[in-house]
Amino acid sequence: MAKPAEVSVESPALDSERPPKSGMPAGVTGAATWADDRLGLASLLKKNLRKIFPDHWSFLLGEIALYSFVVLLLTGVFLTIWFKPSMAEIEYEGSYQLMRGLPMSEAFASTLALSFDIRGGLLVRQIHHWAAMLFLASMTVHMLRIFFTGAFRKPRELNWLIGVGLLGISLIEGFAGYSLPDDLLSGTGLRFVDGLIRSIPLIGTWAEFFIFAGEFPGSLVVARLYMVHILLVPAVLLGLIAAHLTLVVYHKHTQYPGAGRKDGNVVGYPLFPVYMAKAGGFFFVVFGVSILMGATMQINPVWNFGPYNPAQVTAGSQPDWYMGFVEGAIRIMPNWEWHLGSTTWSWNVFLPGMGLLTGLFVLLGAWPFVERWITGDDAEHHVLDRPRNNPTRTGLGVAGITCYAMFWLSGGNDILATQFRLSLNAVTEFMRVAVFLAPVVAFIVTKRICISLQRADHERVLHGSETGIIERSPDGGYSEPHRPIHTDEKFMLTQHAQGKVAEVTPATDGNGVLEKGAGVSKTRALASRWYHAGVIDKPTADEIAEADHHANGHADGHDGDHQVTESETSGQISR
């Protein structure tokens, strides 16, 4: 019989050793300690790097705008090196043979040089232009998302105003950059703006001479627009973007309704490492798409338009898309003018031009306060609305989009007429009616759709989801069994606050003394009644309990159909 093996108590395999430290070099830790002692970076980073951000695809819209702005800054630095913001006339001697010997401004000649003589110049020009389009488009859609979900409500009214300011200033920035090449197309747009300025009552002519340093086109406007485009407006944009992001962090990010999500917490992922990794990767996606568009999709081929000549206008000329609605409004406006003494009041230009732009941004800025006045809602909101749960706001938003679309189409009334072989006058007359009628139709249809979706949610909470199975009873009747939905989904469908119609109440206390801020006026009561009209009340807790009891009592033979599995949280954190 074999003897048992001896056990060694001194084997090296049994020795315990502490693994060597793999810390950073002493120089790095010393520098970090030095900075932390003077700036307090450790506590600041520890708090903010673990800040939770919710996850949803629509939140990427704001990131697209931010990253497009970074692309604009990077490409703009390259273009600044080569562009000459001068309207001094020279004779072109560059490599583009079709224009050799033609008189043109130095600005246009340098644009041609960037396009044909500077290595990579044309690519960077087109990346810059496409990034500008993407910047304004993503900002517009981002603001629409904020509007439809109610993310502008308390405490984010100030951030909404900053966003409105960013949008307005970005339009100025885009127009200034669009006008710099001094080609025939951009010069036509500049002439259009000159007309808007001159239409301002009383001071229009003075303002034109101030901006253009004399009668249009003058000799300094390109240099002045260049200063505005690369220095003044970018500095304002950077400040507003910094303020916007600071308030986003301070107020914490809004989140969509769902299980475990409420106004007092945020469910999502930490800034580091998850969100920073995703954001960094998405920046390169946006940059890559901008490069791809600049490399494969031609935009603003100034050599096809030629240098600007005030006596010429390109047939079928159109502005960049973001200014098309203003041009459309002016094209369809009737010829309304006043002649008072030696002055001409051009309402046909001022009202659809300056008036429309001013009215749009005043309305956008005032809306959070108007809605709060109508609803009387002064609570803080960190969970977003589902658009269907606020049918009036959603209907107004779609009506605004429809009105914008009608004005935008009117800006190409000549293109519509020639392409579809229609009368230009007929297109113009149709658009004059459509800009008023189409938004009303859009509002009514959208509100009815939202109310129908609310009704469907109401039925889903009380009766469950449809199974698609038709059963025949012994007496010959047919019915479709419903499967109860999960508790998390019920919470998501019913967690929104139920708005109440305001009733007229006096602004006095029990002793008949006027009380500041108290009472509801007839005007506000009427507005509240209109705002909440048709809204479907969400099920009460008693109704849900009764429906659950009823469903459990009729679950014979269908226990398998009624099983619901809980969804994974995928490692999300709630704070």
CA 300 to chain centre: 25
Identity of the residue numbered 359: G
Are the C-beta atoms of residues 84 and 106 closer than 8 Å to each other?
Answer: yes
Q: Which residues of 88-124 are buried (b: 16+ CB within 10 A; e: fewer)?
A: eeeebeeeeeebeeeebbbbbbbbbbbbeebeebbbb
Average pLDDT over residues 283-307: 95
More confident residue, 507 or 299: 299
Query: What is the token pair recorded at 488?
Result: 């998390």
Query: What is the token pair recorded at 564?
Result: 């619901």
Q: List beta partners, residue 574.
A: 267
Q: 71-130 pLDDT, tens per residue?
A: 999 999 999 999 999 999 999 999 999 999 999 999 999 999 999 999 999 999 999 999
Are the C-beta atoms of residues 110 and 83 closer than 8 Å to each other?
Answer: yes
Sign, Cα dihedral of 242, 247, 253, 254: negative
More confident residue, 543 or 221: 221
Q: Is the pLDDT confidence value at 477 over 70?
A: yes
More confident residue, 13 or 461: 461
**At 10, is the secondary structure helix, strand, or coil?**
coil
Average pLDDT over residues 19-46: 70
Q: How many CB atoms lie within 10 A of CB 17?
A: 6
Q: 406-451 pLDDT, tens per residue?
A: 999 999 999 999 999 999 999 999 999 999 999 999 999 999 999 9
Rg value, the chain, Cα? 32
Predicted pLDDT at 255: 93
List the alpha helices (DSSP H) in 298-388: 302-305, 324-332, 347-350, 356-375
Predicted pLDDT at 7: 52
**pLDDT bucket at 312, cuts 50 / 70 / 90:** confident
Q: What percentage of the chain exceeds 70 in pLDDT?
A: 89
Q: Give the chain's mean pLDDT.
A: 88
Pairing verdict, β 103-105 and 482-483: unpaired
The Cα–Cα gap between 391 and 450 comes to 5
Cis peptide before 155, with omega less than 30 degrees from 0?
A: yes
Are the C-beta atoms of residues 109 and 99 closer than 8 Å to each other?
Answer: no
Q: Is the pLDDT confidence value at 565 over 50?
A: no
Average pLDDT over residues 388-404: 97
**pLDDT bucket at 555, cuts 50 / 70 / 90:** low
Q: Is the pLDDT confidence value at 569 over 90?
A: no
**pLDDT bucket at 314, cuts 50 / 70 / 90:** confident
Predicted pLDDT at 4: 53
Residue 443 is given by DSSP the state H
Q: Is the pLDDT confidence value at 272 over 90?
A: no
Cα diameter, the chain: 131
Predicted pLDDT at 482: 86
The Cα–Cα gap between 542 and 548 comes to 10
Q: 228-245 pLDDT, tens per residue?
A: 999 999 999 999 999 999
- Of the segments 75-79, 313-317, 373-377, 563-567, which one has the largest average pLDDT value? 75-79
Pairing verdict, β 465-466 and 482-483: antiparallel
The Cα–Cα gap between 32 and 42 comes to 9
Query: What is the token pair recorded at 5?
Result: 């093996």
Identity of the residue numbered 263: D
Average pLDDT over residues 269-288: 91
